[in-house]
Structures are given as C-alpha cells and as structure tokens.
Structure 1
C-alpha cells in the first residue's frame, strides 16, 4: 500500500504547527513534510508530536522567504539557511533537505547555485531535493524545468542530488501525458513526488487525477501538496481506495 505524506505548508494550516502533525496522523497520513516552519518553531514540541504519532518526517525545506530561497542568490545567505535546515533535519530525523533555489536568473545565479549545491553536498550524507517550479506559479524561479534539473545533474553528478517532482508544476509545464512520461524517465533520480489536481492545485481525488495509479507505482511515499477543498481524510481515503 502506498504511504502518504501531508505537506504541512498546505494542509491543516489553521492549526498551530505541532498540532498539524497530530491532525495529519488523525487523517490517516503515514508521514509529513515541512516547508521551512520548523526552523523558527518550537523543536521540542514538534519532536514530541512526531514521537507521539509515529509519523515519518520525509523532508523539509531550506529558508524560503520572499525570494523563495537563496541558493541561487547568495553564498553567505544560503550557507546560513542550509546550516540551520540541516541542524533541524538532524534533530527531527528528516529524511531529506529540499534546497530552495530562489527567484534569480542568469549566469551569476547559475554559478552561485552550483557552488552552493557543491558546498552543501560536502556537509551532509542526506539526499538534497531539487524541485522544478513552473513559471506559471513562480515567474523567475531559478530551477524552472526538468531540463534545468538535468543540466545541474550533468555538472554535479552526485547521486544525493535528487529530483522532487511536483505533479502540479510538471503537468502545467508539459501537459499530463508528457509529464507522466518524463517523470517515468527520471525515476532513477527521483527523490520525492508530490500530488495535487492539475488544473488548480486542488484535491487530488483519483477520478480527477487519472494518472494516479501510474504515479503511485514510482515512489514508496507520495506527498500531498494541495489546496484542500473537501475534508482531508476524504482525500486520503479516496487515494487508498
């Protein structure tokens, strides 16, 4: 049976952060994943909620902020961000760290991004997730396509650099059929897969995501990063049905 992870940057956002973990467990999730909330949160309370519920922490992001990360923007700023994220990941037992690239384009940004990834790889054995984010959702985001991810991997062929494939972003970029085939081809480098309804990032009910059965076969844990419109437990039950 597929395991499901709740993205707590999108789900249960009306609750205090540690309570989101308990709500995820109560809704039937096996795991959770964070944006960057834990870096400024009560780590003892977050750890207590993880231990109490027994849910797995799939991963967390580096600092996001108004620029959606700083990996392609600042060497000093990113190194501060990554050190903090890695410390939190180690303390909470997160499986991976998502390196958020930032809103930056051009040769200087590319050089900064590659140098920062090289620096980060030297400081952890954890997988580092890189997520292409479509221009429709974040104009100017540095890593904006699977081709951009492949270019990074060609220059930094470290197996710990893994693709975080978001169905909403990739489906928006390439169309559903092409996105599915591209994700299948990228499977050897796939670190995490996230699901939402393609047209509006809404509830990913199986009848509205016809590719669900094919996608679920690609990963042991599927992240749900979507804007909820119906009870979350109903979505979880639908995906498990």
Structure 2
C-alpha cells in the first residue's frame, strides 16, 4: 500500500508553518516530513501532530548554518564535535515526536576540492555516520543518507547512488539506511526501476517530485505510476515523501494523488 507523506517545507506554504499540519490532514495526508523542526519546541510540534492526527515520518539533523549556505555537517572535517551535538539534538526531537528516522545531510565540498580533500570528507563521513547510527540505535531510530543532485545543490558531497551504497557498506550499521529520492536519482543516475531493485534492501524512505522542474509528480519525464507499482511489488511498506514545489497552490495540484486518498478540493 502506498502511503504518502506531505513535506511541509515545500507543500502548503500558503499557510504559516504550524497551520500546514491541519492543511495536510484535511488534504488526506496521514504522515508529514519537513527539513528541520528546531524553530519550534518538541511540545509544540507534538501538539500539532496530535491535533491533526498525523505521524511524523522524517526530518533532518541540524545542518550547520543554513542561512550562510551550509548543507549539513556529516562529512565536514573539523566539525565532528558540532555534528555529534546535532545527533543528540535530533534524537531528542525524534523521541519526543515519535519519529522513526532522521536524515544526516552530508554537507558541501569546498569549491575545487582535490582528491585528498575528497578522501578526508569520505573518512569523516564514515566515522560520523557510525557514531550517529550507534546513538540512534540506543533509542530505536534509523539514520538516513541521501544522494542529492549537484544541479540543485552544487558541491554536495553525496550525489550518486553507488557512492551512497559504498558508504552504507563501509559504515556497517544495520540502522543506517538509504533515503531514496527518485527526483535526485533521475537527474544524476537515471535507470530508476533498476536502482530501486538493486538497492531495495537498504531503502529506509522514498521521496518523489516531477523532473526536471520539481513540481507535482504527474508533471515531467518520470512515470511515477510504474514506480509505485514496482515499489508495491517489491513489498515496500514505508512512506513516500512528497518533496516537490507545487506549480500553483498545493491543493489544486493534488489530483495526481486522488487514487491514494488525497483530495484536490
């Protein structure tokens, strides 16, 4: 069964953030994700979830200085202490919100990074993820990593599916999983169904958006009905995060999801 979660950082932005929970519930969503919870207390967010009868399914670890352009800490040499603090903070929220998984953004390589710099980022990434996974395991949570395309996020350290799979193997922790964003994968790698099949055992969460504009998933070059069919055939029981930018207002673009219980009016 396909279960869709609204990404509240992108959907329902016609509303203030805390009002997006109700809007998502009224549109038929039963789960939500977003980039970061840290501007609000865990109690405030838990109240919003409970009032809207929603499940929190994912959010990201603190990313460093987002406004200054930082996009995660996990691979940044010299920032290990800050990363460890970010793990503690994220898990505090995850426990309070009963959220089963958190995403550790890899961060950016410096412009013009040479091979030794890349190797230093790789080594830091492995050690940081091992720490994060072990801390998360203590409280029954998963940590996810996500390849992000370098068109939307130039310089992002983790950008290809093969690289992500090599990282998972190197870390070797069973609760470190793959956040499989079909939008990013299509831009960087293509061959979506084969990637789903080959990596299925490591997938902890799936996200979708139309390619290339990142609008509704019924727009663009990717035929999502075939991908949903394959996910169901593979036995995927997790959530699918709707991480796209509506072409107009959110509700008018939800006709694509009516087969899954979403309402467009």
TM-score (norm 1): 0.92
Query: Within the alignment, does 1:86 sit opposite 2:91 as a pair?
Result: yes
Map of 1:44 onto structure 2: 43
Map of 2:54 onto structure 1: 55
Map of 1:118 onto structure 2: 130
Q: CA deviation at 1:137?
A: 1.5
Write the deviation string for residues 55-113 of structure 1: whole angstroms up to 9, x where unpaired: 11111101122211111112011111111111111111112010111002611111111
Structure 1 counterpart of 2:150, from 135, 147, 151: 135
Whether the aligned pair in 1 keeps the contact of 2:211 and 2:219 (CA below 8 Å) is: no
SS at match of 1:67: coil
Q: CA deviation at 1:39?
A: 1.4
Whether the aligned pair in 2 keeps the contact of 1:59 and 1:97 (CA below 8 Å) is: yes
Distance 1:202 1:113 in 2: 31
Map of 1:69 onto structure 2: 72
Map of 1:151 onto structure 2: 166
Q: CA deviation at 1:209?
A: 3.8
Which structure 1 residue ranges, 5 or more long, are not aligned?
A: none
Map of 1:163 onto structure 2: 178
Write the deviation string for residues 2-43 of structure 1: whole angstroms up to 9, x where unpaired: 21101111112242322111111111111001211x112133
Whether the aligned pair in 2 keeps the contact of 1:27 and 1:232 (CA below 8 Å) is: no
Whether the aligned pair in 1 keeps the contact of 2:216 and 2:245 (CA below 8 Å) is: yes
Whether the aligned pair in 2 keeps the contact of 1:4 and 1:31 (CA below 8 Å) is: yes
Map of 1:23 onto structure 2: 23
Distance 1:235 1:62 in 2: 29
Distance 2:189 2:166 in 1: 18
Q: CA deviation at 1:240?
A: 3.5
How many corresponding residue pairs? Answer: 238
Map of 1:215 onto structure 2: 228
Select the structure of larger CA radius of gyration.
2
Deviating beyond 4 angstroms after TM superposition, the runs of 4 or more aligned structure 1 residues are none
Q: CA RMSD in A?
A: 1.8
Distance 1:207 1:114 in 2: 35
Whether the aligned pair in 1 keeps the contact of 2:148 and 2:156 (CA below 8 Å) is: yes
Q: CA deviation at 1:232?
A: 2.8
Which structure 2 residue ranges, 5 or more long, are not aligned?
A: 110-116, 260-265
Deviates more, 1:16-25 or 1:93-102: 16-25
Distance 2:58 2:85 in 1: 18
Map of 2:112 onto structure 1: none
